């Protein structure tokens, strides 16, 4: 049997990581911190991004099979626990859908503002656009990955790379030209304000760094995993932090903190920049590019997580209607289920008075699911070092058992903090009654978390092996 050729080097692994994580949608949220966002990003990298990158690399190296979280957590703690962890990951993505859909609606509102002004404040407009895009993308993916794949590739380039480079370039020009800035460049401004009401957005920064495990799936294709992967993560971390920090500061320097809109902060910044050039005509163009980028992101994430759950269907965890696939191998049952849950969560935009507040609630819910999933992954990596020590791992976390304990321990604490901190309503947003806010987050989390427990009991009752 021929040995698989290893073709991925440091640069390619780094680019895969960057492509999986960088998103302009998160910049307005971190811009709320001003210059202190630099510190928050660096802290997030050390307590979350780097630990999960190295830990998932070891797991993917030892268990390079389809299923990811399901296989890793299932091998460590049993298949029921693995199914629960994967379901939690899926719910986090479903909670993320309405947030990115709202961003898409905001970009469309700005795009057609010259013809239909005021739509950016219309709840009905947001809801109709969000559902139209969501269900349209769902049915598009019924046609198979080949049909929609080119949309994602082109959309990421046009809607993320180009606007990202542009806003960073404009901010550099702004500084060189000596234009006024709304952020302080004093050293004291770098220090975060360690108050719960101000730190709550920190979980949003953690969420913006989710996705690094995508590159770890390719660890067995790396030319020299033990050497190339740490280098790739270091390179990717510098690029991701550089783009995120510079993009964040570009918004913060031209949009006052109290005026930053979590949905349209990117366009707010471009409006200031282009108006200074007497190029207001370019604002709809950037709105269009950002819209294309968000649509590409939605299209990419519609089918991927649902297909991942097919592994659990083969083990008998899911009922027949969720495990159903069409002639192209698309899990139509799960796509329809996630569309229905996403639609229900989208109702938050009709219920809450502020678009920014509704956007934050969905982001916070998504963050809670994400950190719980990664908590399982950290725990699995730690346990497998003891229960499966002889499994070949082309890449291992440096430092032996002390190294894995350190990274997993720090990562689990970061996940616990990320889950709890979002329960504190942010002082910058009007989220209404505090108890209602907390009840909405915890209630949504626990209701959606109970479903896999029900399915697991059904599997036991039916004695499926």
Question: Among residues 39, 136, 75, which one has the least CA distance to residue 380?
Answer: 75
Structure tokens at 86: 């994967």
Rounded to whole angstroms, the Cα distance separating 208 from 314 reads 32
Q: Is the pLDDT of residue 294 over 70?
A: yes
Q: How many CA atoms lie within 13 A of 45 on its CB side?
A: 19
DSSP 188: G
- The phi, psi pair for 36, rounded to 5°, reads -65, -15
Instruction: Report pLDDT digits (tens) over 81-114.
Output: 999 998 998 888 888 888 888 888 888 988 888 8
CATH number at residue 175: 1.20.1740.10
Q: Is the pLDDT of residue 408 over 90?
A: yes
What range defines the domain where residue 238 resides? Answer: 10-461
Q: How far is CA 69 from CA 26, 220, 380, 381, in A?
A: 25, 17, 9, 11
Residue 2 domain-assigned? no
- In angstroms, the first-to-last Cα distance of the chain is 32
Q: Is the pLDDT of residue 353 over 80?
A: no
Residue 5 domain-assigned? no
Residue 345 domain-assigned? yes
pLDDT band at 381 (very low <50, low <70, confident <90, very high): very high
Instruction: Report pLDDT digits (tens) over 227-238.
Output: 777 788 788 888
Residue 1 domain-assigned? no
Structure tokens at 250: 């570009």
Rounded to whole angstroms, the Cα distance separating 283 from 120 reads 15
Residue 4 domain-assigned? no
Question: Among residues 455, 464, 460, 364, which one has the least CA distance to residue 87?
Answer: 455
Write down the pLDDT at residue 111.
Answer: 87
Residue 55 domain-assigned? yes
Better-scored residue on pLDDT, 137 or 211: 137
| Element containing residue 1 per DSSP (H, E) | none
Write down the pLDDT at residue 375.
Answer: 96
Most confidently modeled range among 24-33, 94-103, 383-392 = 383-392
Structure tokens at 13: 């692994």
Instruction: Report pLDDT digits (tens) over 253-263.
Output: 999 888 888 88
Residue 255 domain-assigned? yes
> What does pLDDT average to over the chain?
82
Instruction: Report pLDDT digits (tens) over 411-451.
Output: 999 999 999 988 888 877 777 788 888 898 999 999 999 88
Question: Among residues 461, 329, 462, 452, which one has the least CA distance to residue 79?
Answer: 452
Residue 49 domain-assigned? yes
Max Cα-Cα span within the chain: 71
What burial class does residue 13 get, using C-beta atoms within 10 Å of its C-beta: 0-12 exposed, 13-18 middle, 19+ buried? Answer: buried
Nearby residues of 456 by Cβ (< 8 Å), 6 or more positions away: 80, 83, 84, 317
Beta bridge partners of 320: none
Rounded to whole angstroms, the Cα distance separating 414 from 403 reads 17
| Element containing residue 81 per DSSP (H, E) | helix 79-111
Neighbouring CB atoms inside 10 A of 453's CB total 13
Instruction: Report pLDDT digits (tens) over 112-156.
Output: 888 888 888 888 899 999 999 999 888 887 876 554 455 555 666
**What's the total number of domains in the chain?**
1
């Amino acid at each position: 049997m021929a040995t698989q050729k290893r073709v991925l080097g440091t640069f390619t692994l780094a680019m895969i990581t960057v492509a999986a994580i960088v998103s302009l949608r998160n910049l307005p949220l971190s811009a709320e911190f001003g210059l202190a966002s630099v510190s928050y990003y660096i802290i997030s990298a050390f307590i979350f991004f780097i630990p999960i990158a190295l830990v998932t690399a070891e797991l993917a190296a030892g268990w390079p099979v389809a299923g990811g979280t399901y296989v890793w957590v299932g091998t460590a703690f049993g298949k029921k626990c693995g199914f629960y962890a994967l379901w939690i990951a899926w719910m986090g993505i479903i909670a993320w859908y309405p947030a990115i859909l709202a961003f898409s609606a905001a970009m469309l509102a700005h795009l057609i503002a010259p013809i239909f002004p005021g739509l950016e404040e219309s709840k009905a407009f947001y809801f109709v656009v969000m559902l139209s895009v969501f269900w349209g993308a769902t049915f598009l993916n019924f046609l198979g990955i080949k049909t929609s794949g080119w949309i994602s590739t082109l959309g990421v380039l046009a809607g993320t790379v180009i606007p990202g480079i542009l806003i960073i370039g404009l901010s550099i020009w702004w500084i060189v030209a000596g234009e006024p800035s709304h952020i302080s460049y004093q050293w004291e401004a770098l220090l975060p304000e360690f108050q719960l009401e101000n730190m709550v957005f920190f979980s949003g920064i953690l969420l913006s760094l989710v996705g690094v495990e995508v590159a770890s799936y390719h660890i067995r294709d790396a030319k020299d995993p033990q050497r190339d992967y740490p280098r790739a993560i270091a390179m990717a971390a510098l690029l991701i932090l550089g783009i995120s920090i510079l993009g964040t500061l570009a918004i913060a320097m031209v949009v006052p903190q109290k005026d930053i809109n979590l949905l349209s902060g990117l366009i707010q910044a471009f409006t200031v920049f282009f108006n200074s050039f007497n190029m207001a005509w370019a604002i709809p163009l950037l709105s269009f590019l950002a819209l294309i980028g968000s649509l590409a992101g939605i299209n990419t994430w519609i089918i991927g997580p649902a297909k991942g759950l097919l592994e659990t269907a083969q083990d008998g965890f899911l009922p027949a209607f969720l495990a159903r696939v069409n002639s192209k191998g698309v899990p139509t049952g799960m796509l329809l289920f996630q569309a229905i849950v996403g639609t229900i969560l989208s109702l938050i935009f009709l219920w809450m008075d502020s678009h920014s507040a509704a956007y934050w609630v969905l982001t916070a819910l998504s963050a809670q699911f994400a950190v719980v999933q990664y908590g399982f992954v950290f725990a699995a990596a730690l346990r497998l070092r003891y229960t499966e020590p002889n499994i070949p791992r082309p890449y291992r976390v440096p430092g032996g058992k002390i190294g894995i304990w350190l990274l997993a321990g720090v990562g689990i604490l970061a996940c616990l903090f990320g889950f709890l901190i979002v329960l504190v309503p942010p002082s910058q947003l009007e989220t209404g009654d505090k108890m209602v806010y907390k009840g909405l987050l915890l209630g949504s989390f626990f209701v959606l978390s109970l479903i896999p427990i029900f399915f697991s009991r059904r599997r036991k009752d039916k004695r499926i092996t």
